[in-house]
Amino acid sequence: MITCIHKEGLRPIVVAVALGALLVVGANLLFPYQSVWHVLFYAFLLFVVGMVVRFFRVPIRRKTLKIDSVVLAPADGEIVANELVRETEYFGDERRQISIFMSIYNVHVNWFPMNGTVSYRKYHPGKFLVAFNPKSSTDNEHNSIVVKDAQGREVLVRQIAGFVARRIVSKVEAGAPAVAGEELGMIRFGSRVDVFLPMDAKIRVHIGDKTCGKRTVLASFY
């Protein structure tokens, strides 16, 4: 799969490389005689830098599904929740919630799940509970984006920061067009995305399923 590096990753990658170089120089000044410990230390630094670079990768998926009346996965990860909840921030009624957990090994870019218009967007500062904690959906730092399609159906995508995740990046604003498969933001070292669906949506995934952002169909309206 062809990948590139997200622009949000340029500074962290430069910092990681620079810090790694300084540590290598410092280690050699303090311990000038090379040993197996030097090799292990270099390997560890290379692994850390590699993980930072890998985290900010963006897969180029040219065959994005763009089918009317379906909701695509907005993130890579694993389905960890599929339940009925009362969504209080925007809808104020009962919705079907699908939650996708993103490990540090997943791509952390998030995409619009369907075509339409952004009818609502709000960022909420908050805590950094672990992503599996049920309270993380409302208590953690999160960013809520609602997409309304041509038929008037609305889907809420909530980006949630976690214990490791400390920054949500999204420049989407209310009134902007939403195109299925186009980027809506990312969670730097992020953790979870919740999707709130209308009650008449037919769920196409199960807990434990792996999702591929902008390809996996979460739900449909037929």
Distance, in Å, from the CA atom of 102 to the CA atom of 53, rounded to the nearest integer, reads 17
22: CB partners within 8 A, 6+ apart = none
In a 13 Å sphere around the CA of 190, the CA atoms on its Cβ side amount to 31
CB 173 within 8 A of CB 188: no
Quote the CA–CA distance of 187 and 142 in Å, as a whole number. 10
Q: 3-state DSSP call for residue 190?
A: coil
Q: How far apart, in Å, are the Cα atoms of 97 and each of 2, 48, 84, 86? A: 32, 35, 6, 9
Q: Which active-site residues does the annotation give?
A: 191
Give me the DSSP letters along 108-158. -EEE-SSSEEEEEEEEE--B---TTSTTHHHHB-EEEEEEE-TTS-EEEEE
